[in-house]
Structure formats: structure tokens, C-alpha cells
């Protein structure tokens, strides 16, 4: 098979595969109601200061690891 024929067959195959997945989508109306019990923001990972402290600890760890392997003792 020539390269052009192989490319055309692959393109047509991908077109029909995408066409089949388009028709395979569910068309029914879906109604989802998620109730989390109010507007609670007392979880630890929603606090801004936790993210700031975590970021600083991560940066300090990264710096310590990257600088620790560069010790030249003569």
C-alpha cells in the first residue's frame, strides 16, 4: 500500500470512529442536585494560609534538596 492510501484510510477510519462516538452520546435530560449541607468552609484545605504555608514548605524543601548535592569539599 502506498503511503497516501494508508493515510486516507486512517483518516476515513478516524472520521467514522468519531462519528460513532458522537451518536453514542446519551441524549436524555439529566438532572443532578448536589447538596453539601450548606456553605461550610471550615475544611482545612479551603483556608488560604494553609496553601501559603504549604507552598513555602515545598519551596524550602526543593531548595534544600537542590543545594544539598552541590557540596565541594577540598
Alpha helices in 1-47 (DSSP H): 3-23
Band (71; pLDDT cuts 50, 70, 90): low
* Phi, psi values for residue 42, rounded to 5°: -95, 10
- Give 3-55 pLDDT, tens digit per residue: 889 999 999 999 999 988 888 776 678 788 887 766 666 788 888 999 999 99
Amino acid at each position: 500500500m502506498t503511503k497516501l492510501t494508508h493515510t486516507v484510510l486512517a483518516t476515513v477510519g478516524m472520521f467514522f470512529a468519531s462519528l460513532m462516538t458522537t451518536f453514542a452520546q446519551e441524549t436524555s435530560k439529566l438532572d443532578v442536585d448536589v447538596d453539601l449541607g450548606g456553605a461550610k468552609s471550615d475544611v482545612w484545605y479551603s483556608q488560604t494560609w494553609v496553601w501559603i504555608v504549604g507552598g513555602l514548605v515545598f519551596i524550602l524543601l526543593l531548595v534544600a534538596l537542590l543545594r544539598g548535592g552541590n557540596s565541594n569539599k577540598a
